[in-house]
Chain A
Amino acid sequence: MDSPTRLTEGAIRAFVIEDYPRIVTGLSVMCGSRPAAEDAAQGALAKAWERSERGERIEELAAWVTVVARNSLRSWFRRVLAERRGRAALGPESDPWPGTSDDRVEVVRALARLTKIQRDATVLHYYLGMTMAETGRALGVSEGTVKSTLHRARQILGPALRIDDLTEGVTLDARA
């Protein structure tokens, strides 16, 4: 969505309808918690709105909110990771996506096999539609690192999702 110079309540509402659900879903996959993802996305959106009112120009609101929310989730993720390690010692972990089935579970399970940076890169690039360069900036790595990370992710996701032809990555890379 194109961002106006100054964000209005109407623009925020349009963003919430058009972009917010997908961003929250992507963030949920990255951190494993929908409530945390919602909280981070709303916090980032509030920050963008407040900064816009102070005259700061937010060029790409969706990308801006995604990156800011992901950054705020990183500290949250570290804390939760430690909690999960503690819970794992007590018993099986609860399902972060209760009630899901079919290929939804298949995709979530496939993504769960990736390392965190592979999963984040996959979600940002394939799901949220960021370019290689944008994904690199969001992750704090070079574009080359993004490409190699996505290549390794495809090698894992292909068999997990029963996709034989992985040359599609070449097509996708051309988007950057």
Chain B
Amino acid sequence: MPELERKIKDGLDRLMERPDPAQIVERVGERKRHLRVLHRAQTVALVVAVLAGVAGGTYGLSRAFGLGGSRPASSSVPPAPSPVPSVSVTPSPATPSPSPSAAGIALCSDQTAVVTVVSQTGGAGTISTTWRITNTSRTPCRSYGYPGMDFHTSSGWLHVHVIQGQGFANVDYPPTRIVVLPGHPMYFVSDWGDVSGPAGLCLPFDRVKVTLPGSRVPVELASSGCLDPVRVHVGPVTKTPPP
């Protein structure tokens, strides 16, 4: 063995202490258990953080694309049968269609949709309308969430912020993802107040806009009636007519 290496080894080996192995193993084992607990806690914290991030991201995306969102307070007057106002359909101006989804199915767009009224009932200060949106394109389209609505009066468009769900049972249920085949319809229900006087407001309107979920361009309809613009509830789009 070279002299330098031997001197270093000999010199330092004489400093060496040989502790009780059992004691050292016990101490190391205790520290290992502590590390394991720490690691598990870190893993749990990481999983919670990832789930929170995913949930936050999903919520942010759903808000950004109008799928779901906050629900303001509801009204509490149940609908009842009443005379049906007349509604006719006119197509809106051409607009760019939405891009295809990851699944390869495009969002249902105003360009390829025809909106009609299936039925309308009224009573106790509320008009309840079932709307049919037919996919007129040659390909399936998808939809999810709540449509938007606006109403035109003698002083212009009201810029109504619809209340998503809540209120009556006919609009208060969670949205589901649907795929609409070519030529097939989807549906949604709207409820709006039509009470005049101190208890409410009823502004006469002559046109209605319906904006499909995820779209920014509405389908415009000729219509007539009156409504309280702060009491417009809409239900989510569904594949079959709501009961």
Interface residues of A (CB under 8 A from B): 9, 12-13, 16-17, 20-22, 24-26, 28-29, 34, 38, 42-43, 45-47, 49-50, 53-54, 97, 100, 102-104, 106-108, 111, 122-123, 126-127, 154, 157-158, 161, 163, 165-166, 168-169, 171-172
Q: Which of B3, B24, B31, B36 is the one whose CB lies under 8 Å from A43?
A: B31
Interchain nearest-CB distance for A49 vs B (Å) = 5
B21 contacts the other chain (Cβ, under 8 Å)? yes
Interchain nearest-CB distance for B160 vs A (Å) = 58
Asked whether, in the complex, the Cβ of B16 is within 8 Å of the Cβ of A157, the reply is: no
Q: Hey, which chain B residues are within 8 Å of A158, CB to CB?
A: 4
- How far apart are the CA atoms of A159 and B21 in the complex, in Å? 38
Q: Which of A17, A28, A43 is the one whose CB lies under 8 Å from B15?
A: A28
Asked whether, in the complex, the Cβ of B8 is within 8 Å of the Cβ of A54, the reply is: no
Q: Hey, which chain A residues are within 8 Å of B10, CB to CB?
A: 103, 107
Q: Hey, which chain B residues are within 8 Å of A42, CB to CB?
A: 24, 27-28, 31
How many B residues touch A, CB cutoff 8 Å?
Answer: 30
Interface positions, chain B 1-45, Cβ under 8 Å from A, are 2-5, 7-19, 21-22, 24-25, 27-29, 31-32, 34-36, 39
Q: Nearest B residue to A100 by beta-carbon distance?
A: B15
B interface secondary structure, majority: helix
Asked whether, in the complex, the Cβ of B24 is within 8 Å of the Cβ of A16, the reply is: yes
Interchain nearest-CB distance for A172 vs B (Å) = 6
Interchain nearest-CB distance for A104 vs B (Å) = 5
Asked whether, in the complex, the Cβ of B4 is within 8 Å of the Cβ of A163, the reply is: yes
Q: Which of A21, A47, A126 is the one whose CB lies under 8 Å from B35?
A: A47
Given A50-B36, A171-B2: A20 touches B24 (CB 8 Å cut-off): yes
- How far apart are the CA atoms of A80 and B57 in the complex, in Å? 46
Asked whether, in the complex, the Cβ of A165 is within 8 Å of the Cβ of B3, the reply is: yes
- How far apart are the CA atoms of A165 and B16 in the complex, in Å? 27
Q: Nearest B residue to A161 by beta-carbon distance?
A: B7
Please list 7 pairs of residues, one from A and one from B, whose beta carbons are closer than 8 Å in the complex, sorted by A's number.
Answer: A13-B22, A103-B7, A103-B14, A107-B7, A171-B2, A172-B2, A172-B4
Asked whether, in the complex, the Cβ of B16 is within 8 Å of the Cβ of A25, the reply is: yes
Q: Which of A16, A106, A107, A163 is the one whose CB lies under 8 Å from B21?
A: A16
Asked whether, in the complex, the Cβ of B32 is within 8 Å of the Cβ of A46, the reply is: yes
Q: Nearest A residue to B11 by beta-carbon distance?
A: A107
Asked whether, in the complex, the Cβ of A154 is within 8 Å of the Cβ of B29, the reply is: no
Q: Hey, which chain B residues are within 8 Å of A168, CB to CB?
A: 2-5
Q: Hey, which chain A residues are within 8 Å of B7, CB to CB?
A: 103, 107, 161, 163
Asked whether, in the complex, the Cβ of B9 is within 8 Å of the Cβ of A126, the reply is: yes
Interchain nearest-CB distance for A8 vs B (Å) = 11
- How far apart are the CA atoms of A61 and B38 in the complex, in Å? 22
The 3 A-B residue pairs with the shortest CB-CB distance, nearest first, are A107-B11, A168-B2, A46-B31
Q: Hey, which chain B residues are within 8 Å of A43, CB to CB?
A: 31
Asked whether, in the complex, the Cβ of B4 is within 8 Å of the Cβ of A157, the reply is: yes
